Every structure is written in C-alpha cells, then in structure tokens.
Structure 1
Amino acid sequence: MYNIDGYIYTLIEIYTYMLIAYVLLSWLPSARNSFIGEMLGKLCEPYLSVFRRFIPPIGGMIDISPIVALIALRFIGEGIRAIIHFFV
C-alpha cells in the first residue's frame, strides 16, 4: 500500500515540477524552442489547455491557468491517494 502511495506522490511531484519549469520557460522567448522546452510543451500543454479553455487571461496578458492547474493536480493526487487508502 505504501509503495503505491509513494509512487503516486512522486509522480504528482515530478509533474508539478515539470509544470513549474514549463511556466518559467515561457518567460524566456527562445527557451521554448529548445529540446527541453519542446519536450515539456508536449507533456504539459495538453493538461494546461483544459484550464485555458475556461480561464481567460487577466488583462489580456496574465495567465493564471497554471496556478489553477497546479491546485487541481494536488486535489486530484490527494483524491487518488485517499481512494487507495480506502480500498487497501
């Protein structure tokens, strides 16, 4: 039980850091064109696009959808861990 819980926690942490890195790369114009930027884009953009459909940028420039996506990721991770603890 604790192994599955630990794996889920680790995967959520890794994806959280990937999202943060992807958002930070958006501040550098040429960084998204690098190999790491393209790889992170392929992994993070499908998840972020769900939130960007519903949350418009504030003032046309400030995108808060990554913050909401990170909070939702934490809730989803904790929910999965709670379900595992309930059944195991």
Structure 2
Amino acid sequence: MNGLGRLLLTLVNLYEIIIIIRAVISWFSPDPYNPLYQLLIRITEPVLSWFRRLIPTAGIDFSPLIVLLLLDFVVKRIIISIFVG
C-alpha cells in the first residue's frame, strides 16, 4: 500500500478514536463549555447528526456505533481495495 492509502487509513483510525472518546466522555455529563469537549463536538457532530436523523434514538444514541461499524467495515475495505488492488 502506498503512502496515500496509509494516510487515509490513519485518518479513519484517528476519527474512530475521536468518536470513541466522545462517546465515553458523554457518559460522564461533561462541561459543555470545555474547549476540548467543544472540539470533539465540532469534529464528530456533522457525521453523527446525519445518522441520528436516520435512526430514532429511543433513549440510547446508537449513531456512534453505526458510524464506527461503517468506518471499519466499509470505508477501510474500500481504501484497502483501491490501494492494494
């Protein structure tokens, strides 16, 4: 795999970690004015909000799980198939 493929996989892995961190922090009712938490929201909310509109929450927000599964099983496989052959 060339450098671009590795870079894309690294960025997807980093985004997955950011989503996991946001999900874990949300269990502890964080301070909404915390700059780090606001950064996590700005980075993840565009993707998560799109999935929240598609999937009703019913008290539990499954959008982080859905995004993580899609990133892992779809996006990574596409990147690997393009750059490996």
CA-CA distance at 1:42 after TM superposition: 0.2
Question: Gaps (5+ residues) in structure 2?
Answer: none
User: By how many angstroms is 1:67 displaced?
Assistant: 0.6
Q: Provide the secondary structure at the position in 1 that maps to 2:59.
A: coil
Task: Pick from 66, 69, 79 the counterpart of residue 68 of structure 1.
Answer: 66
Q: Find out whether 1:41 has 2:41 as its counterpart.
A: yes
Residues 25 and 31 in structure 1, CA contact (< 8 A), matched pair in contact too: no
Identity rate, percent: 30
- RMSD over aligned CA atoms reads 1.5
Aligned ranges 1:44-63 → 2 under 5 Å: 44-57=44-57, 60-63=58-61
Normalised TM-score (structure 1): 0.83
Give the superposition deviation at 1:4.
1.6
The answer to whether the 8 A contact 2:18-2:40 is kept is: yes
TM-score, length basis structure 2: 0.85
Query: How many residues are paired up?
Result: 84
Q: Could you list the runs of 4 or more consecutive aligned residues of structure 1 that deviate by over 6 angstroms after TM superposition?
A: none
Q: Check the 8 A contact 1:23/1:66 in 2, yes or no.
A: yes
Structure 1: unaligned runs, 5 residues or longer: none
Q: Distance in 2 between matches of 1:33 and 1:26?
A: 13
